[in-house]
A = this chain, B = another copy of it.
Amino acid sequence: MNKTKKFLLSEKEIPEHWYNITADMPNKPLPPLHPGTKEPIGPEALTPLFPMELIKQEVSQEQWIAIPEEVREVYKLWRPTPLFRATNFEKLLDTPAKIYYKYEGGSPAGSHKPNTAVPQAYYNKMEGVKKLTTETGAGQWGSALSFACQLFGIELEVYMVKISYEQKPYRKMLMNTWGAKVFASPSDNTESGRKILQQFPNSPGSLGIAISEAVERAASDENTKYSLGSVLNHVLLHQTVIGLEAIKQMELAGDLPDVVIAPFGGGSNFAGIAFPFLRLNFQEGKNIKCIAVEPASCPKLTKGEFRYDFGDTVGLTPLLPMYTLGHNFIPAPIHAGGLRYHGAGVLVSQLLKDKLIEAQAVQQLECFDAGVKFANTEGIIPAPEATHGIAAVIKEAQKAKEEGKEKTILFNLCGHGYFDMTAYQDYFEGKLSDHFLSEEELHSGLKYLDTPKIQ
């Protein structure tokens, strides 16, 4: 055992503001379009789904947005989160690279998701909302919002992607324990769900379908609003507490990362750690490389198209400018359910288009191998989503070794894998496989897409 290097902040150092990267982006994101007319829409179009404060944040150009005191109070339950140097993992990799990780798994829901679930529940509560609907993939988002809604006394209905509903029963029970109602999606609660079930009775579901169901439910009841766990600007905004804390902690360590790495589903985890470091690039002339890591079986960043697309499968949401595989794309049932989404958030898409960030795709087996190596040296068992970041870290550490460079790597360990133990068991028993998409599969979702392309 090497010395444990942990860098802690005091409660007073929980950030007082979220960082809004829009203010610093050289090219601002394009506006959303109306799903029917395909004309640009303003914030008022979002009022059936979101409370006004969140809509304001969605379109804000302010660089800093104050975190309400009530939200910081709840953050105190698990924030500031620790930052560690992974000295034993470094030793195993026999690398000259220094590897740091920020650990977000200590929250009651076990991931970074409560960072946005709590303010979302709070703003809805403030505006008198009685009930929320949402979707969830692996269940990290659903359980985070269940926890937050329970604390603020808001009812919650969760549409959980069917394959994850079956793979991760403990996540469902967790949501139930916090008082939420959970349905396997596609369900027959909604038009959207029934439509999919008619076409594909054995559909394993997808985040896109689950979003359609949750949005439909919220839009059809005026006392109910909708809540999303990633993709949207205000969600990414809330997650910047991760990177803001990490910057202070890297200072404590007397270090600055050359590379910042995070898994990528819709962007909340990646944005959370990377955006505050990108600010240092924008404002202080730093040159920190930020890498978003997606599963090879759902490669929107590395193989998708940059164009307008729906956020959901059925086509109920506004059209957003993003890297996408097409809203009909149904990804393979990998265990990293949180990364099975057809599109990338608007902010991250624009940054990638402008080459201000990088993207990589990794296969499932490589990820689990990385996760086990990490667990056996550092003790924490990472969520399958988080293993994608670790796989990329190993690559960077090996490159550093080949190049003989002392590089500093920081990654976001966004959640623990204690609800995903069956995935590890399947991996040990040789039941998991990689997923190589044929050209046909890759284009299956884009082929018939009639949404506007972007040059």
Contact = CB atoms under 8 A, between A and B. Distances in A.
Nearest to A2: B73
Interface stretch (A171-179, A236-244, A435-443, A444-452): A171-179
A173 B424 contact: yes
Nearest to A6: B76
Given A379-B151, A380-B108, A421 B1 contact: no
A200 interface: no
Contact of A11 (B8, B174, B177, B381): B8
Contacts of A1: 70, 73-74, 151-152
Contacts of A108: 379-381
Contacts of A147: 379
7 contacts: A77-B379, A88-B151, A150-B376, A151-B377, A170-B170, A173-B425, A178-B376
Contacts of A2: 73
Interface in A83-132: 84, 88, 106, 108, 110
Interface residues of A, number: 44
Interface in A410-446: 418-419, 421-422, 424-425, 428
Contacts of A177: 372, 375, 381, 421, 424, 428
Contact of A418 (B8, B73, B110, B380): B110
A253 to B, nearest CB: 14
A427 B375 CA distance: 32
B8 A178 contact: no
Nearest to A179: B376
Interface string A365-398: 0000000100111011100000000000000000
A3 interface: yes
A455 interface: no
B77 A176 contact: no
Contacts of A11: 6, 8
A176 to B, nearest CB: 6
A144 to B, nearest CB: 11
A77 B6 contact: yes
A73 B4 contact: yes
Contact of A8 (B4, B10, B84, B425): B10
A4 B74 CA distance: 6
Oligomer: number of copies: 2
Interface in A263-287: none
A160 to B, nearest CB: 14
A73 to B, nearest CB: 5
A368 to B, nearest CB: 10
Nearest to A174: B421
A174 B418 contact: yes
Contact of A176 (B6, B170, B380, B425): B425
Nearest to A80: B8
Given A4-B74, A178-B375, A178-B376, 18 more contacts: A1-B70, A1-B73, A1-B74, A1-B152, A2-B73, A4-B77, A6-B76, A8-B11, A110-B418, A150-B375, A170-B170, A173-B421, A173-B424, A173-B425, A174-B418, A176-B425, A178-B381, A179-B376
B151 A4 contact: no
A117 to B, nearest CB: 11
A106 B108 CA distance: 10
A73 B10 CA distance: 20
A362 to B, nearest CB: 20
Contacts of A70: 1
Contacts of A3: 73
Interface string A327-350: 000000000000000000000000
Interface in A1-18: 1-4, 6, 8, 10-11
Interface string A145-189: 001001110000000000000000110011011110000000000
Contacts of A8: 10-11
A74 B380 CA distance: 12
A174 B381 contact: yes
Contacts of A380: 108
Nearest to A175: B421
B421 A170 contact: yes
A101 to B, nearest CB: 12
